[in-house]
Copies of this chain bind each other. A is one copy, B any other.
Amino acid sequence: MRADAKRNYDRIVEVAREVFREQGYDASLDEVAKRAGVGPGTLYRHFPQRENLLDAIMQSWVDRVTEAADKALAHEGPDRELLLDWFQEYVALISQHKGGPAKITSAMGDPDSPIITKCQVLAEANQRVIDRLRQGGALREDIETLQVCRLVGGIATVADQGDLDAPAVRPMLEVVADGLLR
């Protein structure tokens, strides 16, 4: 990649992070291009689809995902607490930007999504937590981890779109946790 191309690429990503933080994942790409000081064509050259840009932004995000799973797994205490801690982390992780829960959760089941690799990291992190509980025999067995992602993702989506705060989300996570534990 040419030096000026790389510079533009980096600026776009940096600015996009800022704009998406302010306005959510559905923010105008025109705005991103303008703030980054590039023509719209340049943005489209680097990121043909909107989700390619999201993918670039989520680069640093994956580290936090695995860290959060590690932290949850280090939890000493009842299974229910461990699971709820993880769920809360999960919701926080995908709710970083408005529109994030919906986008990430629907990409989860779509192999062609540009952000699929990022979703897989999240799915694997969730898998590790679920497996740990399964080994202890604490979990029902007729449920796939993808379904768990969808359940928690659904709650996060509703919370995101209805502007609910963490205390309002908590009881819903408890219902799901209790439904999964046996």
> Which residue in B157, B172, B179 is a CB contact (below 8 Å) of A158?
B157
Question: Would you call B176 and A147 a contact (CB within 8 A)?
Answer: no
> Which residue in B110, B142, B179 is a CB contact (below 8 Å) of A179?
B179
Residues of B within 8 A of A144 (CB): 171
This chain: copies in complex: 2
What is the distance, in angstroms, from A172's C-beta to the closest C-beta of chain B?
A: 5
A140 CA / B177 CA spacing, docked (Å): 14
Question: Would you call B147 and A105 a contact (CB within 8 A)?
Answer: no
> Which residue in B102, B172, B177 is a CB contact (below 8 Å) of A151?
B172
> Which residue in B105, B106, B161, B180 is a CB contact (below 8 Å) of A106?
B161
> Which residue in B162, B174, B177 is a CB contact (below 8 Å) of A108?
B162
* A24 close to B (CB within 8 Å): no
> Which residue in B105, B161, B174, B175 is a CB contact (below 8 Å) of A162?
B105
Question: Would you call A162 and B180 a contact (CB within 8 A)?
Answer: no
- Using an 8 Å CB-CB cutoff, how does the interface string of A150-162 with B read, 1 for contact, 0 for none? 1101110110011
A72 CA / B161 CA spacing, docked (Å): 29
For residues 59 through 87 of chain A, which have their beta carbon under 8 Å from a beta carbon of chain B? none
Give the 7 A-B CB pairs with smallest separation, nearest first.
A179-B179, A154-B154, A175-B179, A154-B158, A106-B161, A178-B179, A106-B162
Q: List 19 A-B contacts (CB under 8 A).
A: A102-B157, A105-B158, A105-B161, A106-B158, A106-B161, A106-B162, A110-B162, A140-B178, A147-B172, A150-B158, A154-B155, A157-B157, A157-B158, A157-B161, A175-B179, A175-B180, A178-B178, A178-B179, A179-B179
- Further contacts, 6 of them, CB under 8 A, given A109-B164, A110-B162: A102-B157, A106-B162, A108-B162, A150-B172, A175-B180, A178-B178
